[in-house]
Structure 1
Amino acid sequence: MNKVILMGRLTKDPDVRYSQGENALAIARYTLAVDRRFSRKDNTENQTTADFISCKAFGKSGEFAEKYFRKGTKICVTGRIETGSYTNKDGVKVYTTEVVVEDQEFAESKNSGGQGNFSQPAASGTAAPVTADNGFMNIPDGIDEELPFN
């Protein structure tokens, strides 16, 4: 199984290009800075560093990235790893690894301190749930329904 789940911040605005032909397809490329935590043997404090992971999104996902994603936006991506290679102009073979995005969404609301974040509209015309400052969703009073699981 080839499945990747990442959460990080965009290092810059997505680079979006459109394919040639009658049915042009949006192709968005962006890089996510994903925190990696580790502790050093000589220092008891946890230090963080980041991995910079290349991602590409096609079609409607690419158009969404172009419209709403900006540098610094915290997003969550699911997809698959794709590897490839090419020979550069010096004749050296270069190997590539990137994530082909299958699903992408915002990982924080625009009120939580991130820059350029927008919430996606809720399905079927209902109002989107409002999140409190602590990150939890406010549930309206009077809802006595059971959890929506089978």
Structure 2
Amino acid sequence: MLNRIILIGRLTRDPELRYTPAGVAVTQFTLAVDRNFTGQNGEREADFIPVVTWRQLAETCANYLRKGRLAAVEGRIQVRNYENNEGKRVYVTEVIADNVRFLESSQNREGGNTSSGAGMPEEPSYGGGSGNGGNSGRGNNNNFSRNNNTQDPFSGDGKPIDISDDDLPF
């Protein structure tokens, strides 16, 4: 069985950092993710997905993420339920993130220029619980590596790619 999700979107508000009674950090924020199609009025619609992070990842998100920032979230979907004050059962669906990547720097957002280098974070990009223990996105880990190659690997304007059958792994 598999429960894995990857989302890219913008934060709808600053993350809320709280601590459990045991002192464990937990952060909640909502990610606005555009849909691939437009609605009846011709405008793009979005889904607003609640995201929860824990421990060091929660503190990092609270320190670096802000409303409007572009972020990639990787994690799992969780559905929990509880009984409210009126005795009704309430179901909550949320993403429990174990990796968050910051896809644009705060300098790009403030200057209004997000076209160059938007895929490379200026602040660290952390994954919690996956063994990288707070490595910043500047090394040779699973996060973005910083190199000076600015050539777009997806350029080609939709032209067919010349690949021989021997190069394909399947």
What is the TM-score when the length of structure 2 is the normalising length?
0.64
- Match of 2:87, SS state, is coil
* Structure 2 counterpart of 1:71: 67
The letter for the 2-side match of 1:79 is G
* Structure 1 counterpart of 2:47: 51
Give 1:1-150 correspondences, 5 Å limit. Answer: 1-21=2-22, 24-39=23-38, 47-113=43-109, 118-120=122-124, 121=136, 122-123=138-139, 128-129=146-147
CA RMSD of superposed structures (Å): 2.8
Q: Which structure ranks higher in relative contact order (CA pairs < 8 Å, sequence separation ≥ 6)?
A: 1
Question: 1:11 & 1:131 partners in 2: Cα distance?
Answer: 32
Change (3 A) 1:112 1:103: same
The letter for the 1-side match of 2:36 is R
Aligned-pair distance for 1:37?
Answer: 2.6
**4+ residue segments displaced more than 2 Å:** 108-115, 127-132
- Match of 2:27, SS state, is strand
Aligned-pair distance for 1:91?
Answer: 1.8
Change (3 A) 1:130 1:109: farther
Aligned-pair distance for 1:66?
Answer: 1.1
Q: Which runs of 5+ in 1 are unaligned?
A: 138-150
Aligned-pair distance for 1:129?
Answer: 3.7
Larger proportion of strand: 1
Change (3 A) 1:114 1:9: farther
Q: Which runs of 5+ in 2 are unaligned?
A: 112-120, 125-135, 154-170
Aligned-pair distance for 1:36?
Answer: 0.9
